[in-house]
Amino acid sequence: MSVERHTAETPAGERELPLVLLLRPLFPRFHVALTHKFRFLKPWESQLPPDEFLAAHAGAVRALLCSGPTPVDAELLASLPRLELVVASSAGVNHIDVAACRRRGIAITNAGNAFTDDVADFAVALLIDVLRKISASDRAINALPDICNSYGVGHVANLDKLGGKRVGIIGLGSIGSAVARRLGAFGCTILYHSKRKKPSVSYKFFSNVTDLAAESDVLITTCALTDETHHIIDKEVMLALGKDGIIINVGRGALVDEKELVRCLMEGEIGGAGLDVFKNEPVVPQELFHMDNVVLTHHQAVFTPESFDGLLEVVMGNLEAFFSNKPLLTPISE
């Protein structure tokens, strides 16, 4: 295997580590673990402008590790003629020009199932919080401690139970399936929309998201963000969901028409929302901060030690497989 020589000479008798391009710094723990196995090119540490740095190393770069949402667009890909692999540290790859990678024969891997359980748990937690107004009650009690004596803990009106809810899941992949299993245990009826019907499940399938919304009390988005799923929850879907309906988004912000969501919430056309992702992160629409029927978190569903252990294992495994000419662990198929 031919890789670029390090700027410092490799000591005699030592095997040179495979070279990987980074576009932004890794989490310190990841960096410590991975630098035992790979050498990293770090454009931000160079005195050269990024384009000149990439041009200087383009002939040696076969693998790129994309940490976080850093864009990997057609222009970047064109500057790396020997690139064969893009390793994403996320489950979604909407920040990567997948079509351009396909045209150039570049493989893409993602986080696989590393985040599945924690994101599914978080989706259920958001839903329970919205229904039972846990965060709203916490805010009220902290603001007015004596309110417990006057009104009782349940003073925030219109608490609602989870059991028996009809939950429409948009995207019945690994995360969506994990959400379905959890909510099934609560006694919810599971409905779903996906690119195609899943013969392995008995849940009712809807080919149209508006029809799914019309039969659901809750919509949960767990699908990938693509051109087809952009604003998959739009005004029509929200109106079909109705004034008591709840939207939970743990996928990507742009799966939901955020402007229409704010309007529908303000005008009482839907019942509430639990949002871990937003269109222009980290910016959150200001109107949402003042609604007791909305629970907001900052893209934190995956932030557990267990998720990051799983991600590190997947990232390392994909890079090791690539440089050993073995099958990749989590290649994306579409």
Given 31, 104, 231, 299, the catalytic residue: 299
Given 57, 62, 193, 252, the catalytic residue: 252
Given 281, 287, 298, 306, the catalytic residue: 281
Q: How many CB atoms lie within 10 A of CB 151?
A: 13
Q: Catalytic residue at 231?
A: no
Please state whether 143 falls in left (phi above 0), alpha (psi between -120 and 50) or beta: alpha
Burial 65-93 (b: 16+ CB within 10 A, else e): bbbebbebeeebbeebeebebbbbbbbbb
DSSP per residue, 41-76: E-GGGSSS-HHHHHHHHGGG--EEEE-TT--B-HHH
Q: Which helix (H) or strand (E) holds 191?
A: strand 189-193
Q: Catalytic residue at 252?
A: yes
Cα dist from 292 to 164, 244, 331, whole Å? 23, 14, 41
- CA-based radius of gyration for the chain: 23
Q: Which long-range contacts (CB under 8 A, 24 or more apart) does 30-37 make?
A: 30/67, 30/308, 30/312, 30/315, 33/312, 33/316, 34/312, 34/315, 34/316, 34/319, 37/316, 37/319, 37/320
Q: Which of 267, 282, 225, 216 is nearest to 249 (CA)?
A: 225
Q: Exposed/middle/buried for 4, CB within 10 Å: 0-12, 13-18, 19+?
A: middle
Token readout for 169 is 């899941």
- Active-site positions? 252, 281, 299
